[in-house]
Structure 1
Amino acid sequence: MRIVDATLFALHIPFVEAFAHSVRSRSSSDSIVVRLRAEDGTVGYGEAVARPYVTGETVASCLEFMERTLWPAVQATDYVPWAGQDAIAWLESLTLPTEDAAEADTSVVAWNAARCGFELALVDCLLKSAGVSLGELLPPRHPVTYSGVITASSIEGAVKHAKRFKQFGLPHIKVKITGEADWDRLAAIRAAVGPAVSLRVDGNGVYSVEGAIATCEALAEFHIDSAEQMIPRGDPQALATVQAATAIPQMADESLITLADAEALIAAKACRGFNLRLSKCGGLGLTLAIADLAQAAGIQMQVGCQVGETAILSAAGRHLAAYLPEISFCEGSYGSLLLREDLSRRPIHFGHQGLAKPLKGPGLGVEIQDDLLEKYAQQTISLSAKAV
């Protein structure tokens, strides 16, 4: 099946409340939505979230790579719809360039956000055309329970959010830490939620090796279940040094972008957990390949999210989280809890106790409102297939 046209929407959807961590504070989403139309008229949607401090991609460079490299490859391919064949093999068959042949932008670690946007749109489009749900390819193995995330706000603000999450019944909370008043923040949060709630921390790479070790030692009394990306991306041996020095399981996030990263982290025994984020890791196919390595090595898996993602990435993440054999934590699916308006016609956000229903509709299982794409688009790029 041929894809006959594509539209790229660079969005700005305001947040209900600003979200901050040690690297950036955000008050709106900056997703890129990819809309593909097949020759039979079926339309599919994908989403990319470009983060220069993660993959090196910006919104501008991501759009350029999509238009210059990914779209020509997509429009030149005759895709085989899914018809009961092996799901992983079918996902791998949706071949997309992972690198720009010109290698013009050496600041980019991998064009994973761009690839994810097109891959999810292809999956959504081809499965819709066949009348099949992604949940049939990746059948759910267990319910999905989402975490709350406390941003890098004041201690008073952190306690306010902690109490709200406890009232909502969330069993897991992640706390963004910055190196300033970390102990005081965690002490106040633990006092607010009690001993039964699982707490973990995320440093977004702000600490040195020595600082990460000292911080983990100081916070251990609060029974922290994981410490995510405490040090910057770099030599896996540095993260291994942190892991060896603390009982708190270290979780790789920005250090885990490619399959090669996963192999190097495992070889170095650098961490006990991988944070799998679809836009960061390059879509479903590449993320599942990383998950296979993690499972074989006994690495725990967390399904993470990008701040401000819409229902498109949230839906794909939910399918992934439900399908993986075992995950330690799951994040995302905030929908209208964070966005002023989400793109899906029906709410996608999780409910009480963080529980979320499986998605059973065709494709990704969400119905996207084109009028909201047009409403929030800061830039729109229309692409058409060349006549053969």
Structure 2
Amino acid sequence: MKIAALKAYRIRVPLKRKITHASFSRSESESILVCCELDDGTIGWGESVPRAYVTGETPDSVLTQYQATDFRELTDWRWNSTQEAVSLCQQLRLADAPDAPAEYQARGSFGNAARCALELSLLDAATRAQGESLSAIFPYLEEDRSLNQSLPSVRYSAVLTSMKPLKQTALSLLYRLTGFRQCKVKVGMPGIDDRALLRKVRRLTGSRMGLRIDANEAWNRTELETRDADFQPLQIQSIEQPVAHEAIDELKHIRGQLNALVMLDESLCSQEDAERAIAEGYCDAFNLRISKLGGLIPTFQIARLAHQAGIRCQLGCQVGETGILSAAGRHFACSIQELDFLEGSFDRYLLKQNIINEEISFQWGGMAPALQGPGLGVTVNPTHLAQFVDQEMQLI
């Protein structure tokens, strides 16, 4: 098999409601899609959600990087099995971006969103052509297969982002009544009493609900330690990205020191970030997100590194992911062990219109079945896609 055509799309998908947290607010999501067509006519799709405050990338920068990349090398790729396709994707490289912010270049994160959309499209096409599920790639990523598993279903976490008291009450009760076992609460918003909010959520969701919080870079270390002690009676499981990445050194040697796990998100965007966090003791847990880490293969590599270092992991998502990234996350969640928390598959709850034909959003209690394939196990609806396309770019 070989690649016959490659095309990138920039899309804007409206959200059902505005999502606000301490770092950003948005009412629509911009994604990059890549469509890969093989010589036998098989079509594969990939997606990424570039965010300037995460990897330094924007939709413009991703398309600029694609434009600078000579994709003719990919037309020389030949493979006859999923294993061979995975080996080729491990070699996937894009052109350097000379205008990339120096900070993100140094961290090795700039270009990850660009790589993610491309990698997913290639893996989707390759496994689809073989009649295999995308989950078939994971056993080829480590020899001892110590992280591999095959689950028939997974359970996602609920997320509470609203700062409106009535909506907080309604959603907290809904999550409890519909059987969710975990919930993440956004904190650190100006003018909000976080302790009062969390006491309310704990009371409404009940003692059995696992609660995590996400500060989105709102605090410093002193505030973190004060809040961790303050929140101890509320049994908070983890505190995500408590400080800004620029202040990450404040977290040196904090691993194992607090009641809650300290989890990195915006400070965990590359292999380099992961290695530094482990060496400096910045955290107890990683939030893995496929788009920011560069695709399924780099995400798996960081999960393996975390496993070796005794770091816990959450599989997260980015606001506004369409069904393509949701499907990729499902395959990862069902195939990889030691993921303490899962976020994603919010599709019909957040997007005004998805671009895939299938309904794969989580259901009652956050439950969602494994996707059987072929490939990602989802298909893009051309009519739905056409509504949201801002720009197209032929790569091959």
Relative to the length of structure 1, the TM-score reads: 0.92
Q: Which amino acid aligns with 1:145?
A: R
Q: Is the 8 A contact 1:48 1:117 kept in 2?
A: yes
Partner of 1:272: 284
Identity, % of aligned positions: 35
- SS at structure 2 position matched to 1:31: strand
Output aligned runs, 1:278-317, within 5 Å.
278-317=290-329
Does residue 358 of the first structure (1) align with residue 354 of the second (2)?
A: no
Letter in 1 for 2:212: R
TM (normalized to structure 2)? Answer: 0.90
Deviation string 1:296-336 (CA, Å, 9 cap, x unpaired) is: 11111100001110111011111111111221000000111
Which amino acid in the other structure matches residue 141 of structure 1? S
Cα deviation code 1:93-131 (max 9, x no counterpart):
442225616455436442111110000011111111222
Residue of structure 2 equivalent to 1:40: 40
Matched with 1:148 is: 158
Cα 1:92–1:216 shift into 2, 3 Å: farther
Letter in 2 for 1:276: L
**Map of 2:81 onto structure 1:** 83
2:393 aligned partner:
382
Q: Is residue 115 from structure 1 mapped to residue 115 from structure 2 by the alignment? A: yes
Secondary structure, counterpart of 1:271 in structure 2: coil
The answer to whether the aligner puts 1:100 opposite 2:109 as a matched pair is: no
Confirm or deny: 8 A CA contact 2:253 2:280 kept in the other structure.
Answer: no
Q: Which residue of 2 aligns with 1:190?
A: 202
How many Å separate the matches in 1 of 2:24 and 2:247? 23
Report the Cα offset of residue 22 of structure 1. Answer: 0.7
Q: Deviations over 1:143-189 (max 9, x none)?
A: 31101111152333222221222222111100011153111110111
User: Is residue 213–residue 245 contact of structure 1 (8 Å, CA) maintained in 2?
Assistant: no
Task: Give the counterpart letter for 2:392 in structure 1.
Answer: I
In terms of mean alpha carbon deviation, does 91-100 or 16-25 score higher? 91-100
What residue number does 1:167 align with?
177
Aligned residue in 2 for 1:321: 333
On the 8 A contact 1:133/1:361 being kept in 2, the answer is yes
One-letter code of the match for 1:178?
A: G
* CA distance in 1 between partners of 2:156 and 2:367 (Å): 6
Residues of 2 paired with 1:339 and 1:301: CA distance? 26
Q: List runs of 5+ in structure 1 lacking aligned partners.
A: none
CA distance in 2, matches of 1:236, 1:178: 17
Runs of at least 4 residues off by over 6 Å: none
Distance 1:169 1:285, change over 3 A: same
Could you tell me which residue of structure 2 aligns to residue 68 of structure 1? 68
Residue in 2 that maps onto 1:134: 134
> Number of aligned pairs?
380
Q: Distance in 1 between matches of 2:95 and 2:156?
A: 33
Question: Residue 17 of structure 1: CA displacement?
Answer: 2.0
**Contact 2:56 2:100 (8 Å CA) reproduced:** no
CA contact (8 A) 2:8 2:395 kept: no
CA distance in structure 1 between the aligned counterparts of 2:97 and 2:23, rounded to whole angstroms:
31
* Deviations 1:262-285 (CA, angstroms, capped at 9, x unpaired): 111111222111111000111011
Question: Residue by residue, what CA displacement relative to the aligned partner does 1:344-383 show, whole Å, maximum 9, x if unpaired?
Answer: 2110101111111110121111111121111111x22231
- Residues 335-354 of structure 1: pairs in structure 2 closer than 5 A: 335-354=347-366
RMSD: 2.1
Tell me how far apart the structure 1 counterparts of residues 76 and 310 of structure 2 sit (CA, whole Å).
Answer: 38
Once residues 104 and 236 of structure 1 are traced to their aligned partners in structure 2, the CA distance between those partners, rounded to angstroms, is: 21
